[in-house]
Amino acid sequence: MSLSYPLQVVNLLAALLLLISFAMLSQRRVVGLITLFAWQGAALAASTAIIAWSTGQHHLYYSAALTLILKVIAMPWFFYRIVRQLDVNREVESMLNIPTTMLIGIVLVIFSFNLALPISQMAGTVMRSTLGIAMACVLLAFLMMITRRKAITQVIGFLAMENGLFFAATSATYGMPLVVELGVALDVLVGVFVLGIFFFQIRESFESLDLKHMEKLREK
């Protein structure tokens, strides 16, 4: 009974993560997408801290703090700076229209819950009910990556997918060893900075961040 209230809060935050994932699918402006990513990071950090408090897994406090610093403060600030310097705060171009994308997203959520159901029944953790939502967040982020044309939105989609994977790890297995989490966080941080340089190179070469211009680099 002592874990029922924390479990309810984690379920609420999981629902918020799923709602933010759908909002990111429908978002048309880059700045709005970055803001939603920051809110997703905040919900992820809060859920990780609650799981740490309710289960006594104290290493998850470090994971929550790391998520807060990187995905709520550092990375959004970095993306805001890129958007301001490159002046790319225009409508996000999508390969599919928004209603079609949302319908595909609903299908992916149904698929995720059905896929996670047998796994959740075998799980022994109190947070196993959120596994389906975590998998849905991963698939929705992947959908955002493949339906957007601009490089910066695809990078945010990749980071959102990593958020879903991290939420699945914390909810299903109470997280990974701290040294692994630190290594992954460092890799993601370095990757974001490298991609920032990549953004500037694309803009300097094509005066746009639309990846369709990369087709010009193919050998004839």
Q: What is the pLDDT of residue 158?
A: 83
First to last CA, the chain: 67
Query: What's the CA gap between 127 and 151, in Å, rounded?
Result: 35
Q: How far is CA 43 from CA 66, 97, 107, 163, 179, in A?
A: 13, 28, 24, 10, 23
Q: Which pTM does this prediction carry? A: 0.78
Q: For 183-197, write each residue's pLDDT tens digit.
A: 555 556 556 655 555
Q: For 85-127, write each residue's pLDDT tens digit.
A: 777 666 666 777 888 889 999 999 999 888 877 776 665 555 5
Q: Which residues contact 7 (CB under 8 A, 6 or more apart)?
A: 54, 126, 127, 129
Strand partners, 91: 29
Q: For 19-28, write each residue's pLDDT tens digit.
A: 999 999 888 8
pLDDT band at 182 (very low <50, low <70, confident <90, very high): low
